[in-house]
Amino acid sequence: MRGGSSEQGRPLGARWNPDSGVDFHLWAPQRRNVAVVIDDEKPLAMRRDEEGYWSLRVTDARPGMLYRYLLDGDTNLCRADPASRFQPQGPEGPSEIIDPGAYAWTDDEWPGIGMPGQVLYELHVGSFSEAGTWEGALGKLPHLKELGVSVIEVMPIAEFPGEFGWGYDGVYLYAPYSRYGRPEALRAFVDAAHSLGMGVILDVVYNHFGPSGNYMRDFSADYFSDRETEWGTALNYDGPRSRPVRDFICGNAAYWIREYHLDGLRLDATQSMFDESRVHVIRELVACARTACKDRSIIVVAENEPQDSNLVRSVDLGGAGLDGVWNDDFHHSAIAALTGHREAYYTDYCGRAQEFVAAARHGFLYQGQYYQWQGKRRGAPTTGVPAHAFVAFIENHDQVANGACSRRTSRLSHPGAHRALTSLLLLGPWTPLLFQGQEWATARPFPFFAQHEPELAWLVQKGRREFLAQFPSLASRRAQECVPAPAARETFDSAKLDWSESLRTREGQASFALHRDLLELRRSDPILRAVSLGTGSVDGAVLTDKCLVLRMIAEHPTDPRLLIVNLGDDLRFSPCPEPLLAPPWKAWWRLAWCSDDVRYEGPGIAEGDREDGWSIPGYAALFFVPEAEAQGE
> For domain 120-511, which CATH number applies: 3.20.20.80, 1.10.3720.10, 3.30.9.10, 2.40.128.260?
3.20.20.80
Phi, psi angles (nearest 5°) of residue 504: -80, -35
- Within 10 angstroms of residue 376's Cβ, the number of other Cβ atoms is 9
CATH number of 536-628: 2.60.40.1180
Query: Does residue 241 contact residue 129 with C-beta atoms inside 8 Å?
Result: no
Chain centroid to Cα 326, Å, comes to 8
Q: Please tell me the distance from the alpha carbon of residue 438 to that of residue 433, in angstroms, as a whole number.
A: 10
Whole-model pTM: value is: 0.96
**Angle at CA of residue 262, ends 399 and 212, nearest 5°:** 55
Asked about 303 being catalytic, the answer comes back as yes
Which among 216, 208, 313, 346 has a CA at the least distance from the CA of 268?
A: 208
The residue from 122, 268, 284, 517 that is catalytic is: 268
Which CATH topology does 13-96 take? Immunoglobulin-like (2.60.40)
Residue 303: partners with Cβ closer than 8 Å, 6 or more residues away: 266, 267, 268, 269, 270, 325, 326
The residue from 99, 303, 501, 596 that is catalytic is: 303
- Check whether the bond before 575 is cis (ω within 30° of 0): yes
pLDDT tens for each residue of 153-162 = 999 999 999 9
Query: Does residue 286 contact residue 204 with C-beta atoms inside 8 Å?
Result: no
Instruction: Specify burial of residue 350 (Cβ count, 10 A radius: 0-12, 13-18, 19+).
Output: middle
Q: Report helix, strand or coil for 362.
A: helix
- Within 10 angstroms of residue 499's Cβ, the number of other Cβ atoms is 18
Q: Pick out the chain residues at pLDDT < 70.
A: 1-8, 607-611, 629-633
Asked about 343 being catalytic, the answer comes back as no
Q: For helices 506-524 and 415-427, what crossing angle results, to 10°?
A: 30
Residue 524: partners with Cβ closer than 8 Å, 6 or more residues away: none
Which among 626, 509, 503, 610 has a CA at the least distance from the CA of 561?
A: 626
* pLDDT, position 608: 55
Return the domain boundaries, the chain: 13-96, 120-511, 536-628
Which among 80, 83, 103, 72 has a CA at the least distance from the CA of 14?
A: 83
Domains 13-96 and 536-628 alike in fold: yes
Residue 586: partners with Cβ closer than 8 Å, 6 or more residues away: 558, 628, 629
Q: Please tell me the distance from the alpha carbon of residue 323 to that of residue 331, in angstroms, as a whole number.
A: 19
* pLDDT, position 628: 75
- Within 10 angstroms of residue 271's Cβ, the number of other Cβ atoms is 15
* pLDDT, position 8: 53
